[in-house]
């Protein structure tokens, strides 16, 4: 299958218009199934794979790195496979028992990149991202560490995830001032049920030429329409280990279910699944590089991959925008 490609921000790096997120691999999804998901994504034209050193989602210190290990074994399985993919990982979360085994200090980042490369069985990652913002470590120290990593060849580019716009703007300014490596991308939460990044972060990305790799385009699965009010479905991220509380706090509320009901009606009228429609809406934003598709089973990729070929009618997009306008305002709208 041929999938459209685009450049990652203002870099010369070309990536597929959809990316595969792997955070279910190793806990929610066993390795044999994870490999089927990777095979299906590759067959569908996805060449952009995203992971993190703390994955799988919902795990603890005992499972740290399992997802990278699964991905590393798959990448090494076939000759030349690694060269055919853009591999991204992240660092920031706690990976060990010591106080320095987390954050964005020089010590932690230099330790973390080496550990990730060993698990991924590769000499480099294409994109190395800060998984969060460590406000206790000076940005200068973090940027100098990332600059060292890139200059050493262990990463080709660097990006951020879960950064506020003003902090990202400060980091970009410091990079320019000191001649250090510059962030090329941002990985924010973005969906029909979470749009507040449209106010500040996306305009910053546009002005600075940053790639945008949104996660949770299906709001943790709520926008598939499979969840019902009441107790969360067992076996989903709403009940999964350390992730359950976070995802229930994000999305498990009547107002979200009310919106999903209305969106389901629009999808039915348009003759398309809500899953496909939701991912297509994210893709329709011209600032978006590639939404991250998550899956715990291979068949879950059917409707998300279909979004790449779905043409979202301007009238339907306007109705979707209007229906979810309240989610531009974040917590203040609750």
Question: What pLDDT is stored for residue 1 in this prediction?
Answer: 66
Q: What is the pLDDT of residues 21-40, one digit of tens each?
A: 999 999 999 999 999 999 99
- Give the residue from 213, 207, 206 showing the smallest Cα distance to 186: 213
* Backbone dihedral angles phi then psi of residue 50, each to the nearest 5 degrees: -120, 135
Q: Which of the residues are catalytic?
A: 55
Question: What pLDDT is stored for residue 331 in this prediction?
Answer: 60
> What is the percentage of the chain residues whose pLDDT exceeds 70?
99
Q: What is the pLDDT of residues 207-241, one digit of tens each?
A: 999 999 999 999 988 999 887 887 777 778 787 77
> What is the percentage of the chain residues whose pLDDT exceeds 90?
88
Tell me the C-alpha to C-alpha distance, in Å, between residue 271 and each of 248, 277, 324: 30, 10, 20
Q: Residue 170: CB partners within 8 Å, gap ≥ 6?
A: 139
Other CB atoms closer than 10 Å to residue 143's CB: what's the count? 21
Of 88-97, 127-136, 246-255, which gets the smallest average pLDDT?
A: 246-255
Count of residues in the chain:
334
Is the pLDDT at 78 greater than 90, yes or no? yes
CA distance 306 to 184: 28
Is the pLDDT at 334 greater than 80, yes or no? no
CA distance 188 to 265: 27
Average pLDDT over the chain reads: 95
DSSP letters, 4-32, are: -EEESTTSS-EEESSEEE-TTBTTTB-HH
According to DSSP, residue 155 is labeled E
Question: What pLDDT is stored for residue 250 in this prediction?
Answer: 84
Question: What pLDDT is stored for residue 333 in this prediction?
Answer: 45
Give strand pairing partners of 189. Answer: 215
Give the mean model confidence (pLDDT) for residues 125-139: 98
Question: What pLDDT is stored for residue 234 in this prediction?
Answer: 75
Q: If pLDDT is split at 50, 70 and 90, which confidence band does 166 have? A: very high
Question: What pLDDT is stored for residue 236 in this prediction?
Answer: 81
Question: What pLDDT is stored for residue 67 in this prediction?
Answer: 98
Question: What pLDDT is stored for residue 249 in this prediction?
Answer: 84
């Amino acid at each position: 299958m041929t999938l459209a490609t685009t450049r990652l921000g203002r870099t010369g790096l070309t990536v597929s218009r959809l990316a595969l997120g792997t955070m279910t691999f190793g806990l929610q999804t066993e390795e044999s199934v994870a490999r089927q998901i990777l095979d299906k994504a590759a067959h569908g034209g996805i060449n952009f794979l995203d992971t993190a050193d703390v994955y799988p989602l919902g795990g603890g210190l005992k499972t740290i790195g399992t997802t990278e290990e699964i991905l590393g074994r798959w990448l090494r399985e076939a000759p030349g496979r690694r060269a055919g993919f853009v591999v991204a990982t992240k660092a920031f979360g706690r990976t060990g028992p010591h106080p320095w085994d987390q954050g964005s200090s020089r010590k932690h980042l230099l330790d973390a990149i080496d550990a990730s490369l060993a698990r991924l069985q590769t000499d480099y990652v294409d994109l190395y991202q800060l998984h969060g913002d460590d406000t206790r470590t000076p940005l200068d120290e973090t940027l100098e560490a990332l600059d060292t990593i890139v200059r050493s060849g262990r990463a080709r580019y660097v990006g951020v995830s879960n950064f506020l716009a003003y902090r990202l703007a400060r980091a970009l300014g410091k990079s320019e001032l000191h001649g250090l490596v510059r962030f090329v991308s941002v990985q924010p939460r973005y969906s029909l049920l979470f749009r507040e990044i449209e106010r500040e972060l996306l305009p910053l990305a546009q002005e600075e030429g940053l790639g945008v790799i949104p996660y949770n385009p299906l709001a943790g699965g709520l926008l598939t329409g499979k969840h019902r009010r009441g107790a969360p479905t067992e076996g989903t991220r709403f009940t999964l280990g350390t992730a359950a509380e976070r995802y229930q706090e994000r999305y498990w509320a009547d107002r979200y279910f009310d919106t999903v009901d209305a969106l389901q009606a629009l999808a039915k009228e348009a003759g398309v699944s809500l899953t496909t429609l939701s991912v297509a809406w994210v893709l329709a934003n011209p600032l978006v590089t590639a939404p991250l598709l998550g899956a715990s089973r291979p068949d879950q990729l059917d409707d998300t991959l279909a979004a790449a070929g779905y043409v979202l009618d301007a009238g339907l997009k306007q109705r979707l925008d209007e229906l979810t306008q309240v989610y531009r305002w974040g917590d203040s709208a609750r």
